[in-house]
Every structure is written in structure tokens, then in C-alpha cells.
Amino acid sequence: MSFQRIAIIGLGLLGGSIGLAVREYLPGARTTGYDSNPATRLRAAGRALVDQVHDTAADAVREADLVIFCVPPGAMGDAAREIAAALPAAALVSDVGSCKQAIARALGEALPNHAIIPAHPVAGTENSGPDAGFATLFHNRWCIVTPPEPGDLVLLSKLVAFWEALGANVEIMDAQHHDLVLAVTSHLPHLIAYTIVGTASDLEDVTQSEVIKYSAGGFRDFTRIAASDPTMWRDVFLANRDAVLEMLQRFTEDLTALQRAIRVGDGKQLFDHFTRTRAIRRSIIAEGQDDARPDFGRADHDTA
């Protein structure tokens, strides 16, 4: 019933975590892997992220019944073309990318005769590369699956079971809606974090050493996600351009309104806005999507 030979193309944080999670939670399945970077392949073999690391993508997928692309969105098309000739006809093609419409198009063009069901585990850390992965990355995280219409329901249910076995909660969603939701919950926050970290490091009156020194006042929270993989994020913004620009427009309008409240000294508007945003934090904690300990339980904060 479940997938037996899983090929992972791209052995960074996501690909490596999938490999480790399959070994931990689906011990019957065999994993193969490939990465275009030879140093990453070497390190992946060293950490045994998959059962076997191959020197070509084609070799990695030759016996696969599931292939998962874990490369940046802009590299999906080329990676899929590399395996087109070697991939068994019955194999399911999936991925873990953060924008689903563009990736579905790229994979579909490269592999027109294969079943393709894109997916996106909403999980990650600021670290990347073959040393970053761990088996529990997907625990209690959502995995959004965006099947095409009409789709193969047997393959869909196998893919859902696969992600559930790795600890994720699965949600089925339309690809277009996914791209809108992620634009606000992930892409816009990253863009803003990248911006403010850049702004802070370009000041003349405040030195970079002061910014770093006093970052505990709030700035450091932004630096975490602004340390994420640059290649992946470049590709995400280019691939999900329209939804990101739409959300950015709304954000800018709201920021302008608060800016005006500060300029004219409208304390009531500021207070009302700041009170409203507290409720969201409480819901995120209540649903287990974040850590309730103050400051995420950062070192030295013993509230006991």
C-alpha cells in the first residue's frame, strides 16, 4: 500500500529531514538521494541521510515509486528534466516547495506523462544544507497537499499517509489558495525581515556593532528568518510574485496608517491596534504552532 522506494532529489534541510524521518518512522521503505553539489552528496552519505546517495539524479530515481524534489523552486524544472528518462512510469512525483502553482507548472512541463501531486510541509528552520536536517522536523506541523483536478485518489491517499507517518497533519488545498495563504504567513514575513535587517546594517549614525549588541530589544527575532537560504527565497519571491506583491501592498497601507498615527500623536489608534494583535499570538500558542515560554524559552530565562 505505502511507498517502498523513495527518491529524494536535493539533500538540504528538507530533503535530509525527510530521509531521516523515513528511516525513523517508515523503516520498511528504502531511500535513495541525489544532490547537484558533490560536497553535499559526500556529507549526506556521511550522515546517512538516505540509504544510498547516487552520483546522478537519474540513478537515484531508477527504481523509485515516489520521487520528492527538495530543491529551490527555480531549480525544479531542470531537476525534473534530468530524471525524465529514468523515472519509472508508475512513480508519483511530488515536492516540498513553498509556492505551488509555479512548481506544478514546471514539473508538469518536464514530466508530462507522470502523476504529479505537489506538497508543502510548512516546517523549517533558519538553517540549511545537509547538516541541518533532523527526523522530527515535521512533527505537529502542517503539510499542505495541492492535488491537480482530476487527480488519482489512490496516489493522493498514499501521499497523505506518507506525510502523516512522518508526523505531519495534512491539509488538502487548491494551489492558488495555497500561494495566497503562504504569501501572508511566510513570504511577506521573510521579505520584511530581510528588509529590516538590511536597513539596520546600512545606517550611518548607528553602527552595525550597536545593532548587534542591542538586538535583544526585538530586532533579533527578525534576524532568524532573515538568515534563511538566499537561493530558495529568491526563487520563492519570483515564483509567487503576484500574491506577494498583493500582500505587500496591504501591509504598506497598514504601515502608513500607523505611521500617520505616530506623526499626529494618535495614541488611541496605536493602543487599539496593539491590543488587537495580542489575541493572534494566544491562538498560535493554543494551537501548538509556537512555544509559550517567554522569549521561546531562550537561554537564561528561568521563570520557574
Residues 236-255 that bind its own copies (CB under 8 A): 237-238, 241, 244-245, 247-248, 250-252, 254-255
**Dihedral, 17, 229, 283, 96 alpha carbons, nearest 10:** -50
CB of 186 to its own copies, least distance (A): 3
Measured between alpha carbons, how far is 120 from 254 in angstroms, rounded to an integer?
29
Binding positions for its own copies, 6-65, rule CB under 8 A: none
Identify which of residues 2 and 136 has a Cβ nearer to its own copies in the complex.
Answer: 136
What backbone phi and psi angles, to 5 degrees, belong to 8?
Answer: -115, 120
CB of 131 to its own copies, least distance (A): 9
- Nearest-CA neighbor of 94 among 126, 127, 70? 70
Contacts of 129 (CB under 8 A, 6+ apart): 12, 13, 40, 43
Stretch that binds its own copies, among 32-40, 58-66, 102-110, 220-228 (CB under 8 A): 220-228
Stretch that binds its own copies, among 52-60, 104-112, 153-161, 276-284 (CB under 8 A): 276-284
Measured between alpha carbons, how far is 141 from 68 in angstroms, rounded to an integer?
18
Measured between alpha carbons, how far is 75 from 73 in angstroms, rounded to an integer?
5
Stretch that binds its own copies, among 1-9, 32-40, 157-165, 229-237 (CB under 8 A): 229-237
Residue from 66, 122, 166, 175 in contact with its own copies (CB under 8 A): 122
CA angle 203, 193, 133 (to 5 degrees): 130
Binding positions for its own copies, 58-117, rule CB under 8 A: 74, 98
Identify which of residues 30 and 134 has a Cβ nearer to its own copies in the complex.
Answer: 134
CB of 92 to its own copies, least distance (A): 24
Measured between alpha carbons, how far is 163 from 178 in angstroms, rounded to an integer?
17
If you search the block for the grid coordinates 487599539, which residue do you land on? 272
Stretch that binds its own copies, among 27-35, 39-47, 55-63, 199-207 (CB under 8 A): 199-207
CB of 245 to its own copies, least distance (A): 6
Identify which of residues 109 and 254 has a Cβ nearer to its own copies in the complex.
Answer: 254
CB of 176 to its own copies, least distance (A): 10
Binding positions for its own copies, 135-164, rule CB under 8 A: 135-137, 139-142, 144
182 near its own copies, rule: CB under 8 A: yes
Q: How many residues bind its own copies (CB under 8 A)?
A: 115
CB of 163 to its own copies, least distance (A): 15
* 95 in Cβ contact with 116 (< 8 Å): no
Residue 150, preceding peptide bond in cis (omega within 30° of 0): yes
